[in-house]
């Protein structure tokens, strides 16, 4: 099972749809969490999920799981999509999120939050970080397919976006 994770707006859904089009079996996290929703957080326009129970009850499969919690699952390998925080804020702009939520996501991206969480769950040699800032969805899908085939080695840690901590504030 390959996980595709990342901060909202990094392009997980877009690349997963492309990989699905190329014949991969893809499961979208948002289609699996419905039974685990505890409450709706209206201020943050988000659902609160019982993550522990969702992880416990998730049945691994041979394919790709896409979503911002995918790295918490027992994946064999994990792709962490990244996007430079200022560009991430631009990608999130059409969503009509409160400014606070855009800034929160940009800050999480600047602080490598999802990568750090991924490193807490998975060994180094199972992780590929992909900077999508200047890659098309097709190019991201190519990179992930190469990683799945073993043609691109695991790697992470070359990104430093601490200069972008104040984006959206």
Ligand X SMILES: Nc1ncnc2c1ncn2[C@@H]1O[C@H](COP(=O)(O)OP(=O)(O)OP(=O)(O)O)[C@@H](O)[C@H]1O
- Which residues fall in the annotated binding site for ATP? 9, 11-14, 95
Residues 131 and 106: their CA atoms lie apart, in Å, by 14
Would you count residue 105 as binding ligand X (CB under 6 A)? no
User: In the bound complex, what is the minimum distance in angstroms from residue 50's beta carbon to ligand X?
Assistant: 19
Beta strands 2-6; 127-131: pairing state: unpaired
Q: Nearer to ligand X by C-beta: 99 or 136? A: 136
- What is the rounded end-to-end Cα distance, in angstroms, of the chain? 37
Confirm if 161 and 96 have CB atoms less than 8 A apart.
no
Residue length, the chain? Answer: 169
Q: Which two structure tokens, joined as six digits, stand for 158? A: 């070359």
User: In the bound complex, what is the minimum distance in angstroms from residue 94's beta carbon to ligand X?
Assistant: 6
Would you count residue 140 as binding ligand X (CB under 6 A)? yes
**Segment contacting ligand X (CB under 6 A): 6-14, 45-53, 114-122, 152-160?**
6-14
Residue nearest to ligand X (CB): 11
Q: Nearer to ligand X by C-beta: 5 or 77? A: 5
Would you count residue 11 as binding ligand X (CB under 6 A)? yes
Spatial CA neighbour of 91 closest among 6, 8, 4, 5: 8
Would you count residue 8 as binding ligand X (CB under 6 A)? yes
If binding means CB under 6 A, how many residues of this protein chain bind ligand X? 15
Beta bridge partners of 80: 5, 129
H-assigned helices in the chain: 12-21, 51-57, 85-92, 99-110, 113-121, 137-148
Scanning residues 72 to 91, which ones bind ligand X (CB under 6 A)? 91
Q: Nearer to ligand X by C-beta: 48 or 124? A: 48
**Segment contacting ligand X (CB under 6 A): 2-10, 56-64, 71-79, 155-163?**
2-10
Beta bridge partners of 17: none
Instruction: List the one residue from 1, 2, 3, 6 that touches ligand X (CB under 6 A).
Output: 6
Residues 70 and 102: their CA atoms lie apart, in Å, by 21
């Amino acid at each position: 099972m390959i996980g595709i994770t990342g901060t909202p707006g990094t392009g997980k859904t877009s690349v997963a749809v492309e990989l699905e089009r190329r014949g991969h079996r893809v499961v979208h996290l948002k289609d699996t969490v419905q039974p685990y929703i505890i409450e709706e957080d209206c201020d943050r326009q988000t659902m609160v999920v019982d993550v522990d129970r969702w992880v416990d009850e998730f049945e691994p499969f041979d394919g790709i799981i896409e979503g911002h919690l995918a790295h918490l699952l027992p994946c064999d390998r994990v792709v962490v999509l990244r996007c430079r925080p200022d560009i991430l804020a631009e990608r999130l702009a059409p969503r009509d999120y409160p400014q606070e939520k855009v800034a929160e996501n940009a800050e999480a991206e600047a602080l490598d939050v999802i990568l750090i969480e991924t490193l807490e769950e998975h060994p180094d040699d199972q992780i590929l970080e992909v900077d999508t800032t200047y890659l098309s969805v097709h190019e991201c899908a190519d990179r992930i397919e190469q990683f799945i085939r073993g043609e691109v080695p695991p790697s992470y840690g070359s990104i430093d976006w601490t200069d972008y901590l104040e984006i959206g504030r």
